[in-house]
Amino acid sequence: MNAQTQPSPTVFDVERIRADFPLLSRTVHDKPLIYFDNANTSQKPLSVIEAVDQHYRLRNANVSRAVHLIGEEATAAYEGARDKLARFINATSRNELILTSGTTQAMNLIAYSFAMPRLKEGDSILTTVMEHHANIVPWQIVASRTGATVKAAPIDDRGELILEKYIEMLTPDVKLACVTHVSNVLGTVNPVREIARECRKRGIPLVVDGSQAVPHRPVDVQALGCDFYAFTGHKMLSPTGTGGLWARKEHLEAMPPFFGGGEMIREVSFSGTTFAAPPHKFEAGTPNIAGFAGVGAAIEYYDSIGFDAIHSWEQQLLSYATERLRDIPGLRIVGEAKEKEPVISFLIDGAQATDLATLLDLQGVAVRSGHHCAHPLMQFFKVPATLRASLAFYNTREEVDAFITALLKVRKLLM
């Protein structure tokens, strides 16, 4: 199918939205920037940039440590971000949401505070072949220290989790189950509700990596039924060094702290320390206050557009880009699940992914090449790397057309 036979898109004022993102107007190598690396990090709207700027200009003070006005204002903005995030993912309570530097910190917190005290020799942690390293490596580290093992549920050639195999592997030795909500390489959307239901039947806590889900779809942790849900701010319009971990209240109350220091205590003496209640028990030291001011602004920006409109537009872009890529001779799309978010990994016969990405950059196109922090997935598909084009709601059909033109040009140079 070519560009002329695509269905007409629904009305979506993408040009108005693009005007909110300053970086999208720049040029790269004297070419207009086409930013298709959104699964790596998203661009930031002006309101987020201004929120960070206003923090440093008007209320640069530490949180929860002063009674002066700017300290109170900084605390209100920081804790306000927690309230907005709790609503954003439909947490039962704001106290179930730990503010972190991102998914990696969240996963390590679960690994050391929840998993390690519970694991022993003969126990297992179940994950999947399609996971990001952040949902593999922390489990391997705690498994090596406890005598437990890590096992991975398989996927099929379309890049879909084989659900019946995952369920089959939920054997009595499994003390923790893990799964990504959306694959960062394939865009595959996993059946988290079904997995959570099967885990609950067996009393197995479920950890979900939501990094690639929260930028594209509404997330309701209560409806999903998982025990932990981790996500990263910089992929959802927010500053780097931000993110969150939602966990069930009973888990947070039972877990010991991972980091020790200021702000996570009630009282300290040399005879012992009593810790603050969750979530502050897990938030030692000075946080990224300005960054979370930006998170609050990012959520307001999402609210102003709405996920129905975002999802509809992104799915149109995904369909359009996929069909246009299929017209390129020798191109192989890696991962074609029935339900996907706007991430397309692919290879072209006779061309290295890194060479393609380098030449595309000279045409103003930013994409990601490499293993995408997913070595086991690359090994499954028997490839060293892929080229990944990941889209967002501020991208356009015209950018897809320009990307295809650039790809055909660089392909010709490499053939």
Encoded amino acid at 73, one letter: E
Cα–Cα nearest to 365, from 327, 400, 328: 400
Q: Find out whether 371 and 384 touch, Cβ atoms under 8 Å.
A: yes
Residue 373 a catalytic site member: yes
Neighbours of 50 (CB within 10 A): 15
What would the 3-class secondary structure string for 145-198 be?
A: HHCCEEEEECECCCCCECHHHHHHCCCCCEEEEEEECECCCCCEECCHHHHHHH
Residue 98, burial from CB neighbour count under 10 angstroms (0-12, 13-18, 19+): buried
Q: Kindly name the residue from 178, 199, 226, 373 that is annotated as catalytic.
A: 373
Non-local (6+) Cβ contacts of 93 within 8 A are 86, 249
Neighbours of 1 (CB within 10 A): 12
Q: What does the buried/exposed string (b/e) look like for 210-243 if buried means 16 or more CB atoms within 10 Å of the residue's CB?
A: bbbbbbbbbbebeebbbbbbbbbbbbbbbbbbbb
- Look-up: residue for tokens 């007409």? 8
What whole-number distance in Å separates Cα of residue 351 and Cα of residue 330?
Answer: 10
Cα–Cα nearest to 233, from 299, 141, 279, 301: 299
**What SS3 state is found at 379?**
helix
Q: Find out whether 227 and 251 touch, Cβ atoms under 8 Å.
A: yes
Which two structure tokens, joined as six digits, stand for 146?
Answer: 């406890």
Q: Label the pairing between strands 368-370 and 149-153.
A: unpaired
Encoded amino acid at 270, one letter: F
Encoded amino acid at 256, one letter: P
Encoded amino acid at 272, one letter: G
Q: Find out whether 86 and 299 touch, Cβ atoms under 8 Å.
A: no
**What amino acid positions are annotated as catalytic residues?**
373
